[in-house]
Amino acid sequence: MKNGLRGAFRVVTIVLLLVAIWTAYANVFSDDTDLRAQAGTMARQQAGCGDKCKVVGMHGSRGMLEESIDYEIDGKGAFVVTCRRAYVIAGEYACDARKR
Q: CA 12 → CA 6, 8, 90, 97, 98, distances in Å?
A: 10, 6, 20, 38, 40
Q: How many domains does the chain have?
A: 1
* Residue (of 70, 83, 73, 81) closest to 47 by Cα position: 73
Which domain, by its residues, includes 52?
Answer: 2-99
Q: Is 1 a residue whose pLDDT tops 70?
A: no
Give this prediction's pTM: 0.80
pLDDT at residue 58, rounded to an integer: 95
pLDDT tens sequence across 36-86 = 999 999 999 999 999 999 999 999 999 888 999 999 999 999 999 999 998
Say what the pLDDT of residue 64 is: 83
Which helix (H) or strand (E) segment is 78 a member of? Answer: strand 77-85
Query: Residues in the chain, how many?
Result: 100
